[in-house]
Amino acid sequence: MFDFSVVTHWIDGLLRSFLPEAATIVVECVLIGLCLLVGYALIALALIYAERKICAFFQCRLGPNRVGPYGLCQPFADMFKMLTKEIIEINHVDRFLFNLAPFMVIIASVLAFGCLPFAKGLQVIDFNVGIFFLIAVSSIGIVGILLAGWASNNKYSLIGAMRSGAQMISYELSIGLSIMTLVVFAGTMQITEIVELQNDGWFIFRGHIPAIIAFVIYLVAGTAETNRGPFDLPEAESELTAGYHTEYSGMHFGFFYLAEYLNMFVVSGVASTLFLGGWMPFHVPGWEGFNHVMDYIPSIIWFLGKCAVVMFIIMWFKWTFPRLRIDQLLRLEWKYLVPLNLFNLLLMVVVVVFNLHF
């Protein structure tokens, strides 16, 4: 399997051959930032198209089919429209916080996006406490949402922001406990080590029942964390027009729009990394010929393919189940998911201590 660290080390050596140390670091940071932003934008465009097509499939429609073959150019048309739309100035808002909020949301999304291991040797950040860092930076987004609702001076926006705050802070607990269950199983918080440990089998297969329970809870909590249906109460159109971004227009609204889709990709990427082996191929112990064939598939294809499967499941949720009420949403978290998660974490500790896993 190709190791992308060969390419990154070659670029690093090339830059160091004619630039001083400090300049090399600055250039590498700029290149990494550009790659992240380009990848961020392309994945967002692909997800917008996929969402529309999958939604149309579930509703027995065609979806985008006019702009380009099979409507493939529709997301690019929407992007250009968003970039050229006027940003409307709203009276009686806290202007500084109102303009800061979408940048807070997008920064949190990009930081979490940079933590994902896209392929072998292709990862921006690899701390020994990488999982802890990922959970920390992904939690910053709620600050931007609360700022947006409060600074808009609009009751619909404020109610949407309050709902979002209650929802995201509640379901972050389930996400954290699900991740902690797998950290206990792996014995490390370094993301690359977690992926390498799944060389002989993905954790969802090797971790017995606790890993499967953690995966299901993570999918439910991750869907709620990204404010997607049936947990899209913060921006319920029938009740709150557009929720916390009602007063936003132009590219400011575009930031919220992009962050929602990329947060879904981040949730799927973390699920793929922890439960489905990340960029690791599907290996069966003892099947050397089969494993050798699987190794020919590029690692980045494995990672993106697993993310696509998880994102399809999350989209399936949205277009299948009706929207919950706010009391039902919080009851699901605090009365069912949290106790089940705590019991499951204890069960995983028992599995690890008594070496009951595969």
Say if residue 104 is exposed, middle or buried (CB neighbours under 10 Å; 0-12, 13-18, 19+): buried
Residue 306's pLDDT is 93
Domain ranges of the chain: 93-353
Residue 310's pLDDT is 93
Residue 183's pLDDT is 92
DSSP state of 116: S
What's the predicted TM-score (pTM) here?
0.90
Shortest CA distance to 11 belongs to which of 148, 30, 183, 335?
A: 30
As averages over each run of 10 residues, the pLDDT of the chain (358 residues) reads 83 87 89 88 89 89 87 88 82 84 89 88 84 88 86 82 83 91 90 88 86 93 84 66 76 84 91 90 81 86 92 88 84 92 92 79
Shortest CA distance to 15 belongs to which of 2, 30, 36?
A: 30
Whole-number Å distance between alpha carbons of 245 and 143: 14
Whole-number Å distance between alpha carbons of 354 and 242: 51
DSSP, residue by residue, 74-112: HHHHHHHHHHHS--PPPTTS-HHHHHHHHHHHHHHHHHH
Residue 239's pLDDT is 59
Residue 312's pLDDT is 92
Whole-number Å distance between alpha carbons of 59 and 82: 26
